[in-house]
A and B are shown apart, each in its own frame.
Chain A
Amino acid sequence: MKKYLKYLLPVLVPFIILLLPASSFGIVGMTLVEQRIIAIFVMAALCWVLEPIPIYATSVLIIVLQLLLVSDKGLWFTKAASPQELGHLISHKALMGTFASPIIMLFLGGFFLAMAATKYRLDVNLARVLLKPFGRNPKFVMLGLMMITAVFSMFMSNTATTAMMLSILTPVIALFGRNDLGKVAFALSVPVAANIGGIGTPIGTPPNAVALKYLVDENNISFGEWMLFGVPFVVVMLFIAWLLLTTLFPASIKEINLNIKGRFLKTPKAITVYVTFVITILLWLMGGLHGMNSYVVALIPVAVFSMFKIITKEDLKKISWDVLWLVSGGIALGVGLDKSGLAANAIEAIPFAELHPLLLIAGASTLCLLMANFMSHTATANLLLPLVAALGASMHSLLPYGGEVMLILAVTFAASLGMSLPISTPPNALAYASGHIETRQMAKVGVVLGIVGLLITYAMLYVLNQL
């Protein structure tokens, strides 16, 4: 029975919600469309938590169900009720548009950069050059490894970065003595740095992209602005993580020699990759100076790499469409809540205003951190951010603390800080597979970094608000 629960619940519970009378939700004047959105949201939450289907499939299901049940071109009987009872149907173009929203394009651009960098070995070669100044003392080699991992994961996927760095590390770890705790430190340093590094840029990790959907109009944050607070946060967190790892798991080996083979490619294609990479990042950092926003800039590498066959037809097939769709579903969920009017209505009905705003920030981010430890970071962000954004927009008591931006950023950062279990993130799973780490050791580091990370997030937001 328990085995089937994960399949039954995501079907039954939303169905019951659909059948309930509209008055049972405690929201005055709730429309049919709003009720259906609630059902879809609950289904999404159950599917992402219980994972009866792949998480990206849940996202696709959200979009398709919204098209069928609440769009202006949905099934005939879904539109049969009187307009007043029915509420606002959502434009099917808006829902389908989530597959190609500017945020998705930003990520696509990031994918192109990362793929080209890997294909032309820019990543390994940079790692080789950047690691040199850190010498051979295990402590400093680890610091170097962590910094490079973090920088790479700001532009590449956290998983790909982790795999690359672990493959550099594997021969080194093999030289450690049987009971040398340094093995644990090294094996853990990579996923930790990759998870933290993802926070540094809007394209570092999918939760950041989801957050961008809610940071619009006067709350808009540009690529450069994000890095202005994201990178210092990453630096502080990395330093703490490094101290933690070197104290908890000191290495008894005295010298480490990382041997990375290869040299920088100098073919015309490789040079095109380097130049495009640098120009794209510079354009991102310049903000609005050139009139383009980060979404438009992101498509430049897509065009250049396609033109020069740097990313070929075969490479195109290897793009992580699942990640893009996963984010699309989250965006669609937000569109549904917003455009149906449910977000505004529900917030009015629930007396959140009585809640202390700081309590809300702390509560929401802690919940997010907790969820992110047990399920996909992106799915967590997909579920919590639309709710938090709606709440933040309506709560005037939040304004002295920086308004909804602070709330959204606190929750977004919390989503990336969930890293205490092998199942928390793919980088953790990869490092755990090395066989050098026990779950207990990973949990110790992950829990400390999660809590410390939240506290630093609050401090950072406080400082940001003072500026």
Chain B
Amino acid sequence: MDKINIICVDDEREVLESVSRDLAYFADMFNIEECESAFECEELLEELDAQQEYVGVIISDHVMPEKSGVELLTEVALDNRFLGTKKLLLTGLATQADTIRAINNAKLDNFLEKVWDPQELLQTVKELLTEYIVEKGLEYEDYIEKLDPPTLYRLIK
């Protein structure tokens, strides 16, 4: 079975832990990674790519020191190696200009506001992962129990 990663990026430790907790549902089949900054995330991406692992979803905060979430996700969007990786911005402090850049440049797949509803986050990631797996042509049968059925039915041809 291919290793698929879900990466969470946030400069606040508590937020990271709480996102991980909300996504514990995926833990036995997917790899959940935590990064405390955009730079850490970039390093991790290099590492994962070197090991030929898949990056299914990146969930990133926007306002972080040194490098913002939108900048990080824009880089990912332009990087050929991570074509198809789903990008979710999870933030409470994005201005309208940030949001515009996030949609136009970082090609966001989803936008959730802090404070988030754990159920909504879980469902959103489920759908994004399902899309990623089918679009990438991975063996969806292997992960079927963790995926979102309606999305699966819609995408399988």
CA distance A433 to B154 in the complex (A): 13
Is A248 part of the contact surface with B, judged by Cβ < 8 Å?
Answer: no
Is B147 part of the contact surface with A, judged by Cβ < 8 Å?
Answer: yes
Query: Cβ of A159 and Cβ of B149 under 8 Å apart?
Result: no
A167-B157 contact in complex given A429-B141, A433-B144, A433-B145, C-beta closer than 8 Å: no
Is A38 part of the contact surface with B, judged by Cβ < 8 Å?
Answer: no
Cβ of B154: which chain A residues have Cβ within 8 Å of it?
163, 167
Is A318 part of the contact surface with B, judged by Cβ < 8 Å?
Answer: yes
Most A CB within 10 A of own CB, among B150, B152, B154, B157? B157
Main SS of chain A's interface residues?
helix
Query: Cβ of B147 and Cβ of A163 under 8 Å apart?
Result: no
CA distance A389 to B143 in the complex (A): 38
A433-B157 contact in complex given A163-B152, A426-B141, C-beta closer than 8 Å: no
Query: Cβ of A160 and Cβ of B150 under 8 Å apart?
Result: no
Least CB distance from A361 to B in Å reads 33
Query: What is the 8 Å Cβ interface bit string for chain A, positions 115-137, against chain B (1 contact, 0 not)?
Result: 10010000000000000000000
CA distance A59 to B80 in the complex (A): 33
A429-B144 contact in complex given A434-B149, A435-B149, C-beta closer than 8 Å: yes
Query: What is the 8 Å Cβ interface bit string for chain B, positions 51-72, against chain A (1 contact, 0 not)?
Result: 0000000000000000000000
Query: Cβ of A160 and Cβ of B157 under 8 Å apart?
Result: yes
Query: Cβ of A164 and Cβ of B149 under 8 Å apart?
Result: no
Is B115 part of the contact surface with A, judged by Cβ < 8 Å?
Answer: no
Main SS of chain B's interface residues?
helix
Query: What is the 8 Å Cβ interface bit string for chain B, positions 134-157, against chain A (1 contact, 0 not)?
Result: 000000010011010110111111
Least CB distance from B51 to A in Å reads 22
A-B contact count (CB 8 A): 36
Query: What is the 8 Å Cβ interface bit string for chain A, positions 295-318, against chain B (1 contact, 0 not)?
Result: 000000000000000000000001
Query: What is the 8 Å Cβ interface bit string for chain A, positions 412-439, against chain B (1 contact, 0 not)?
Result: 0000000000000010011001110000
Least CB distance from A303 to B in Å reads 22
Query: What is the 8 Å Cβ interface bit string for chain A, positions 155-168, against chain B (1 contact, 0 not)?
Result: 00001100110110
Query: Cβ of A164 and Cβ of B153 under 8 Å apart?
Result: yes
Query: Cβ of B149 and Cβ of A166 under 8 Å apart?
Result: yes
Query: Cβ of B150 and Cβ of A170 under 8 Å apart?
Result: yes
CA distance A426 to B152 in the complex (A): 13
Query: Cβ of B144 and Cβ of A163 under 8 Å apart?
Result: no
Cβ of A426: which chain B residues have Cβ within 8 Å of it?
141
Query: Quick one: which of A152-201 are within 8 Å of B by CB?
Result: 159-160, 163-164, 166-167, 170
Query: Quick one: which of A59-118 are within 8 Å of B by CB?
Result: 115, 118
Query: Cβ of A433 and Cβ of B149 under 8 Å apart?
Result: yes
Query: Cβ of B153 and Cβ of A318 under 8 Å apart?
Result: no
Cβ of A433: which chain B residues have Cβ within 8 Å of it?
144-145, 147, 149, 152
Query: Cβ of A160 and Cβ of B149 under 8 Å apart?
Result: no
Cβ of A167: which chain B residues have Cβ within 8 Å of it?
150, 153-154
CA distance A426 to B145 in the complex (A): 13
Least CB distance from B28 to A in Å reads 17
Cβ of B147: which chain A residues have Cβ within 8 Å of it?
433
Least CB distance from B156 to A in Å reads 4
Query: Cβ of A160 and Cβ of B156 under 8 Å apart?
Result: yes
Query: Cβ of B157 and Cβ of A430 under 8 Å apart?
Result: no
CA distance A84 to B145 in the complex (A): 56
Cβ of B152: which chain A residues have Cβ within 8 Å of it?
163, 430, 433
A159-B153 contact in complex given A433-B144, A433-B145, A433-B147, C-beta closer than 8 Å: no
CA distance A160 to B152 in the complex (A): 11
Q: Which 6 A-B residue pairs are closest in the complex by CB-CB distance?
A: A167-B153, A163-B156, A166-B153, A170-B150, A434-B149, A163-B153
* Beyond A160-B156, A430-B152, A430-B153, 7 extra complex contacts between A and B, CB < 8 Å: A118-B157, A159-B156, A164-B153, A167-B153, A426-B141, A430-B144, A433-B145
- Residue pairs across A and B with Cβ atoms less than 8 A apart, 11 shown, are A115-B157, A160-B156, A163-B154, A163-B155, A164-B153, A167-B153, A426-B141, A430-B153, A430-B156, A433-B144, A434-B149
